[in-house]
């Protein structure tokens, strides 16, 4: 393992205990760190990742706020980046995506750094080069080595109205022990989301951090929207591949490789796989909870017009001035 060991866990715990706290849907509550709210349980891993991860120039990092299309983007990027090793053709019954949940193939780095024995960093040596990882950490809080290196960042965001509804359904499926008691009304959940008090929120600052970075450093940060990916999955998959430095050749396009990947990574395909019905890649979350409807505009079925108005006004005030609209 090339990364140095460290002994700052005690210090991290002391730091976290001194930070502002709020109630959240997660039983451990939320802690405010560098202007964003984190599940207190996950924050030690976030800080260890931030302090100790050493990026390589060849790394690719998938970033999102939860419920924005992370699982989908992980599967698309994985299939495209490693297509020389793993043929994405329908005829290949051994493709890793058929036997592993996308979160088991593309790991969240803050999870890898969480709960390590004191003084040890996670062993990342077994990952294929180029390495493909993921995180939910906001742009300004990314490890210094990610900012300094030439590694690439692919960010996905989604209409906050659909995000909050997706999150509401997701939370309902989380193990009862990890959910905060008395956190059961959609109104309260929604109110906190609107105030920016939810995991990796405020959503507007999360999106704007990567939005601005994608404009300042387009070679470094590719900014995607879930809605665009739905509308033209093949076109965006080609953009993603080109950005990662592995564009599809004319021959591959002629042979339908792009379409094969789109099909393999579609919600209907992934949802039906045994591994995604029964597995558990990240503790406390069942793999099946990552696959629901995958629709644009499903929020109309769950959010009242006045609630929607409130969130739209927030988007108008925070995102629209920067040209970010949904």
- Catalytic residue annotation: 136
Among 42, 72, 139, 200, binds ligand A3P (CB under 6 A): 72
Q: Is 279 in the site for ligand A3P (CB under 6 A)?
A: no
Query: Tokens for 4?
Result: 């140095």
30-33 sheet: strands from edge to edge:
21-22, 30-33, 36-39
Among 68-76, 146-154, 215-223, 254-262, the segment contacting ligand A3P (CB under 6 A): 68-76
> Which residues between 176 and 235 bind ligand A3P (CB under 6 A)?
none
Contact between 137 and ligand A3P by CB under 6 A: the answer reads no
| 236 binding ligand A3P? (CB under 6 A) | no
Q: Does 67 bind ligand A3P (CB under 6 A)?
A: yes
Q: Which stretch binds ligand A3P (CB under 6 A): 54-62, 186-194, 259-267, 308-316?
A: 259-267
- What would you measure as the largest C-alpha separation in the chain, in angstroms? 58
Shortest distance, position 68 Cβ to ligand A3P, whole Å: 5
Sign of CA dihedral 36, 41, 47, 49: negative
Q: Which stretch binds ligand A3P (CB under 6 A): 36-44, 49-57, 243-251, 287-295?
A: 287-295
Assess contact for 282 and 102: CB atoms under 8 A.
no
Helix (H) or strand (E) holding 315: helix 305-318
Q: Which stretch binds ligand A3P (CB under 6 A): 33-41, 63-71, 113-121, 190-198?
A: 63-71
Quickly count helices (H) and strands (E) in the chain: 16, 7
Q: Which of 27, 39, 50, 70 forms a contact with ligand A3P (CB under 6 A)?
A: 70
The residues pairing with 293 across neighbouring beta strands, listed in sequence order, are none
Long-range contacts of 214-219 (CB under 8 A, 24+ apart): 214/155
Contact assessment for residue 260 and residue 248, using Cβ atoms and an 8 Å cutoff? no
In the bound state with ligand A3P, the residue whose beta carbon lies nearer, of 121 and 270, is 270
Interaction site with ligand A3P (CB under 6 A):
64, 66-72, 162, 166, 169, 265-267, 270, 290-294, 298
């Amino acid at each position: 393992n090339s990364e140095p060991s460290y002994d700052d866990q005690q210090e991290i715990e002391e730091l976290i205990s001194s930070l502002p706290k709020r109630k959240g849907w997660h039983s451990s509550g939320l802690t405010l760190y560098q202007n964003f709210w984190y599940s207190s349980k996950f924050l030690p891993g976030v800080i260890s990742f931030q302090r100790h991860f050493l990026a390589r120039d060849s790394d690719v990092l998938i970033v999102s706020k939860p419920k924005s299309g992370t699982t989908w983007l992980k599967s698309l990027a994985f299939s495209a980046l490693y297509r020389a090793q793993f043929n994405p053709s329908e005829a290949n019954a051994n493709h890793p995506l058929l036997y592993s949940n996308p979160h088991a193939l593309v790991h969240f780095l803050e999870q890898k750094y969480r709960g390590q024995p004191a003084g040890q960093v996670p062993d990342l040596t077994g990952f294929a080069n180029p390495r493909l990882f993921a995180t939910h950490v906001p742009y300004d809080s990314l490890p210094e080595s990610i900012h300094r290196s030439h590694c690439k960042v692919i960010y996905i965001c989604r209409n906050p109205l659909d995000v909050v509804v997706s999150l509401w359904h997701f939370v309902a499926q989380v193990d009862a022990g990890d959910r905060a008691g008395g956190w059961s009304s959609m109104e309260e959940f929604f109110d906190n989301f609107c105030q920016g008090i939810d995991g990796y929120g405020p959503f507007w600052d999360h999106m704007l951090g990567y939005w601005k970075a994608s404009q300042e450093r387009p070679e470094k940060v590719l900014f995607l929207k879930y809605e665009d990916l739905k509308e033209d999955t093949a076109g965006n998959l080609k953009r993603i591949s080109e950005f990662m430095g592995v564009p599809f050749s004319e021959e591959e396009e002629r042979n339908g490789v792009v379409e094969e990947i789109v099909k393999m990574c579609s919600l209907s395909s992934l949802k039906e796989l045994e591994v995604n019905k029964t597995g558990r890649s990240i503790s406390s979350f069942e793999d099946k909870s990552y696959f629901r409807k995958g629709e644009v505009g499903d929020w109309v079925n769950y959010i009242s017009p006045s609630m929607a108005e409130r969130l739209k006004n927030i988007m108008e005030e925070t995102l629209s001035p920067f040209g970010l609209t949904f």
